[in-house]
């Protein structure tokens, strides 16, 4: 930093030569000495929050990570596999013993009371200060019983647990911006779902699977899937059980890869927009029902978790936990009080840095073509249309016909046919995504913007989440590489082979197009001669 002087020609004093120290991080100070309890620690955002807290908030005392054991894996084995990833390399270099701060808790969101033992439960009650509830099933086609247990009952149970925690400073619930997708205007406030959480839990615990399937359309109403519905009802549960708790709800939009932390372009799942990007890059997905002029509500993962951590600091320093419920005979007044107590942050891109689907596709194509993978199965050919019937025709021509043709020849030579089965799953995924790609919502994010303004300059650098600072063009270069390296497991060293394969498939693609066009023209001429 260079010292500057207000009056040219004045004498230089000692004070002029003193460079002011950077402000101390308020967020690091808040988490210093604190114990964190995090659910969904093996999920995408859960991993990033854990890594970020350990790396940036070095004073954090410990992190209780709730992980469920599997039939063939203990929770210790799952943690070992969790940290054996490039995501943790930076932290491993800076703090080789970071894993000593992670304490495992055997729990399961599919079970009542989170499946916690009495010993673990008491330990959490005595020691925890901050809670991040990230666990959820994000499968859009999840059975209503399972979705209710994981997304709603587990949320209720962790809220009840939090009411017993002796020194709770903050509770952050990670929801979704599309929890109220049946509305076109979505503000940072609660909206009443068509059924309460307690009633839905009772319903799924009473009826058998067949009966639940038969009444599912009635339960869903206007909601497009069980995920959106159960996240909306989970927010109602947060409001209903929020008495005396310092709670924040963060509603991220479609979460994609990281911008820069801890690894640029890192992502570990193919949900949402990322699935389309990777599928198109490999020549697998060739069409999507999408209105190119609609806004794409996409947000980078590291920005999302920085917002979550900042929200914990904000709610923890502005709200105080009050375990004694204030009684009132006016239910409406009590509901209003609950709404005022719970701070909601819509984390979406459209108010600050909007991007439309046509720009998403253009930038994706621009950078994907620069880094072709040798895993390509066909030349990049991706068509978007808002018209359902045209999209279905393209599905038949570009997905089904090639799949059935290749599977037929595979069967002829004794190989197992796989493409038809695979494309049925892909087409189901595309139908779900079409709901979000053919319409747009108007989000308000005043609380999120106000939160950003509250951060001091040090925290704005350490916990950056203002989308106004994001350059979409530069980001997509990183995003495309991340999809190639971290999802396809294809290192950049294979780029020369990828380019050779891309050129060969490009020649094959255009040759096939010319042959098909020739056949089509000959067929039209044949029909003309037959009927004229």
Bridge partners (DSSP) listed for residue 475: none
Q: Is the pLDDT of residue 462 over 50?
A: yes
Q: Which helix (H) or strand (E) holds 170?
A: strand 170-174
Strands (E), 371-490: 383-385, 442-443
pLDDT digit string, tens, across residues 130-173:
999 999 998 888 999 999 999 999 999 999 999 999 999 999 99
Residue 249 confidence (pLDDT): 97
Least confident of 123-127, 156-160, 277-281, 517-521: 517-521
Residue 224 domain-assigned? yes
CB 35 within 8 A of CB 127: yes
Residue found by looking up tokens 């990183």 in the block: 478
pLDDT digit string, tens, across residues 349-399:
999 999 999 999 999 999 999 999 999 888 888 899 999 999 999 999 999
Most confident of 71-75, 377-381, 454-458: 454-458
Whose CA is closest to 337, among 190, 454, 187? 190
Q: Is the pLDDT of residue 451 over 70?
A: yes
CB 170 within 8 A of CB 246: yes
Distance of CA 365 to the CA centre of its chain: 22
**Residue 203 class from Cβ within 10 Å (0-12 exposed, 13-18 middle, 19+ buried)?**
middle
Strands (E), 360-441: 383-385
Determine the average pLDDT of the residues in 202-211: 93
Least confident of 68-82, 467-481, 517-531: 517-531
**Residue 346 class from Cβ within 10 Å (0-12 exposed, 13-18 middle, 19+ buried)?**
buried
Which of 23 and 338 is assigned the larger pLDDT? 23
pLDDT digit string, tens, across residues 1-19:
444 444 455 555 555 555 4
Residue 5 confidence (pLDDT): 44
Residue 505 domain-assigned? no
Residue 11 confidence (pLDDT): 57
Residue 420 domain-assigned? no
DSSP conformation class of 103: E
Residue 18 domain-assigned? no
Residue 130 domain-assigned? yes
Backbone phi and psi for residue 64, each to the nearest 5 degrees, phi listed first: -85, 120
Residue 367 domain-assigned? no
pLDDT digit string, tens, across residues 82-120:
999 999 999 999 999 999 999 999 999 999 999 999 999
pTM of the predicted model, to two decimals?
A: 0.89
Classify strands 247-252 and 185-186 as parallel, antiparallel or unpaired: unpaired
Residue 66 domain-assigned? yes
Counting the structural domains of the chain, the total is 1
Cα angle 363-369-373, degrees, rounded to a multiple of 5: 125
Name the CA radius of gyration of the chain, rounded: 26
Q: Is the pLDDT of residue 128 over 60?
A: yes
Residue 507 domain-assigned? no
CA distance 62 to 105: 12
Residue 16 confidence (pLDDT): 53
Q: The CATH number of the domain where 36 resides is what?
A: 3.40.50.720
Q: Find all residues with CB under 8 Å of 458, minimum gap 6, and list them.
A: 22, 23, 24, 25, 26
- CB atoms under 10 Å from CB of 379, counted, come to 21
Q: Is the pLDDT of residue 529 over 50?
A: yes
Query: Is the peptide bond between 262 and the residue preceding it cis, with omega within 30 degrees of 0?
Result: yes
Residue 460: pLDDT band with limits 50, 70, 90 = very high
CA distance 264 to 368: 16
Bridge partners (DSSP) listed for residue 254: 298
Residue 322 confidence (pLDDT): 53
333 lies in which domain range?
Answer: 26-269+296-354+441-461
Find the helix packing angle between 419-437 and 401-412, rounded to 10°. 160
């Amino acid at each position: 930093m260079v010292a500057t002087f207000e009056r040219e020609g004045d004498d230089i004093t000692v004070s002029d030569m003193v460079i002011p120290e950077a402000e101390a991080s308020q967020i690091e100070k808040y988490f210093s000495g604190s114990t964190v309890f995090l659910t969904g620690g093996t999920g995408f955002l859960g991993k990033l929050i854990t890594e970020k807290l350990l790396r940036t908030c070095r004073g954090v005392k410990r992190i209780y990570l709730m992980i469920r054991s599997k039939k063939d894996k203990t929770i210790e084995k799952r943690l070992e596999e969790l940290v054996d990833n490039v995501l943790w390399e930076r932290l491993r270099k800076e703090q080789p013993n970071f894993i000593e701060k992670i304490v495992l808790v055997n729990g399961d969101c599919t079970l009542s009371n989170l499946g916690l033992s009495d010993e673990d439960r008491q330990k959490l009650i005595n020691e925890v200060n901050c809670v991040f509830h990230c666990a959820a099933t994000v499968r859009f086609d999840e059975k209503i019983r399972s979705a209710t247990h994981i997304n709603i009952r587990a949320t209720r149970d962790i809220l009840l647990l939090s009411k017993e925690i002796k020194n709770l400073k903050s509770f952050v619930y990670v929801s979704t911006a599309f929890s109220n997708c049946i509305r076109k205007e979505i503000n940072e406030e609660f909206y009443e779902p068509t059924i309460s959480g307690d009633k839905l839990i009772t319903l799924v615990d009473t009826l058998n699977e067949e009966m639940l399937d038969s009444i599912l359309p009635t339960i869903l109403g206007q909601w497009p899937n069980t995920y959106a519905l159960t996240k909306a009802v989970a927010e109602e549960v947060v409001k209903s059980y929020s008495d005396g708790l310092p709670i924040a709800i963060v509603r991220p939009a479609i979460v994609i890869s990281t911008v820069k932390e801890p690894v640029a372009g890192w992502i570990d799942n193919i949900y949402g927009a990322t699935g389309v990007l990777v599928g198109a890059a490999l020549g697998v997905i060739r069409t999507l029902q999408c209105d190119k002029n609609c806004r794409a509500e996409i947000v980078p993962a590291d920005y999302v978790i920085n917002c979550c951590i900042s929200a914990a600091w904000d709610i923890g320093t502005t709200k105080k936990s009050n375990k004694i419920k204030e009684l009132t005979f006016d239910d409406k007044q009590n509901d209003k009080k609950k709404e005022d107590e719970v701070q909601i942050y819509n984390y979406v891109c459209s108010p600050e840095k909007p991007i439309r689907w046509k720009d998403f596709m253009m930038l994706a194509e621009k950078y994907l073509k620069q880094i072709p993978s040798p895993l390509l199965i066909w030349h990049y050919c991706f068509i978007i249309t808002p018209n359902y019937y045209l999209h279905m025709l393209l599905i038949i021509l570009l997905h089904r016909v090639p799949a059935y043709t290749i599977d037929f020849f595979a069967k002829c030579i004794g190989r197992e046919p796989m493409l038809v089965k695979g494309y049925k799953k892909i087409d189901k995924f595309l139908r779900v995504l079409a709901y979000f790609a053919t319409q747009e919502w108007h989000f308000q994010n005043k609380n999120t913007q106000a939160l950003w303004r509250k951060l001091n300059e040090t925290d704005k650098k350490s916990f950056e989440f203002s989308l106004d600072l994001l350059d979409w063009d530069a980001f997509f270069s990183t995003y495309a590489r991340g999809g190639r390296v971290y999802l396809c497991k294809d290192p950049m060293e294979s780029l020369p082979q990828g380019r050779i394969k891309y050129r060969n498939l490009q020649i094959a693609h255009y040759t096939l197009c010319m042959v098909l066009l020739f056949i089509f023209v000959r067929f039209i001429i044949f029909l003309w001669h037959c009927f004229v």
